Structure 1
Amino acid sequence: MAQGKWATRIQVVTVFRAGKAPLKFEIHGAPTNSDDAVFETKLPTLTTEMLMPIMGWQSEADAVHSYLLTQEQASAIERLTAIPLPKDLELYISCHC
Structure 2
Amino acid sequence: MYWIILIIAGLFEVGFTTCLLLSKNFTNLIWAAGFFVCIALSFFLLNKASQGIPMGTAYAVWTGIGAAGTVIVGMIFFKEPADFWRLFFIATLILSVAGLKFVAN
Q: TM-score, normalised by structure 2?
A: 0.29
Which structure has greater helix proportion? 2
Q: TM-score, normalised by structure 1?
A: 0.30
Which structure has greater strand proportion? 1
